[in-house]
Amino acid sequence: SSSTHSMAEKNDKTSSVFVSKTAFDEAAKECSLEPAVAEQLWAKLANTSSQRIIGGATAPRQDAANVNQWHWSEQDLAGWAKKRLTALLVGIEAKGVPDKGWVRVTKLETCTGDASVSNRKGKRIVAFELNVKCKWEGQVDYDDVSGELLLPYISEDVSDGKYEVKLTAKEPKDASHKAALKHLEKQLPLLHERLATFNKEIYDETPKE
């Protein structure tokens, strides 16, 4: 009767599943599980199930209940991050450009990379690595000027949110473009303030898409 019993259990897909490492890795990837965490989880599961695999029996129900208590939730913040950075960076403008001139950040062109917040056993884990490119435009000495504002590495690895900022001009040797960069550079403290706001929000709030 014991063999009949184990067969019945094997047919009950809800109480236990047999998963190959390859299938597990694939599923972990699809659920955006960090590789290190996935490895840890696999080791834990392999450890608790090895004696049963050798015995050819399936997991008892009590174990299945324990697996359900393993709590993990992850929220993708890439969309939120792009919206917030657009709101914080676009519109930053140079002050006091002579002859009714102007220089301002007009557009967030690209925001690539990942940002997420995970909840693991009640602990909030924020992870992000973004590469942002904005466009700036203006008029200096009656010439049209433009260029890019680059933030190549916005990441939780950067201490105090002191992110690297690069300002480039479309025509770097042109006098009007050079002047525009100088005007815009004076706004770097404000830019860093805005980035600090972003940094604070991504850690302190549970952002909504």
Domains in the chain (CATH in brackets) are 2-70 (no CATH), 76-204 (3.15.10.20)
Scored b (16 or more CB within 10 A) or e, 114-128 reads ebbbbeeeeeeeebb
Rounded to two decimals, the pTM is 0.64
Q: How many other CB atoms are there within 10 angstroms of residue 81's CB atom?
A: 23
Scored b (16 or more CB within 10 A) or e, 165-190 reads eebebeeeeeebbebbbebbeebeee
Q: Provide the residue count of the chain.
A: 209
Query: What is the rounded CA–CA span in Å between residue 63 and residue 92?
Result: 56
In three state form, how does the secondary structure of the chain look?
Answer: CHHHHHHHHHHCCCCCCCCCHHHHHHHHHHCCCCHHHHHHHHHHHHHHHHHHHHHCCCCCHHHHHHHHHCCEEEEECHHHHHHHHHHHHCCCECCCCCCCCEEEEEEEEEEEEEEEEEEECCEEEEEEEEEEEEEEEEEECCEEEEEEEEEEEEECCCHHHCCCCEEEECCCCCHHHHHHHHHHHCCHHHHHHHHHHHHHHHHHCCCCC
- CA nearest to 107, candidates 145, 149, 144: 149
Please give the pLDDT value at position 13: 47
Q: Residue holding tokens 């466009």?
A: 135
Q: Residue holding tokens 């884990």?
A: 125
Amino acid letter, residue 103: V
Structure tokens at 70: 């393993």
Reading the chain (209 residues) residue by residue, the pLDDT tens digits are 545 454 544 454 455 666 777 777 888 888 888 888 888 887 777 665 544 443 344 444 444 443 444 556 778 899 999 999 999 999 999 999 998 999 999 999 999 999 998 887 778 888 999 999 999 999 999 999 999 999 999 998 887 768 899 999 999 999 999 999 999 999 999 999 999 999 989 888 655 54
Query: What is the rounded CA–CA span in Å between residue 145 and residue 128?
Result: 33
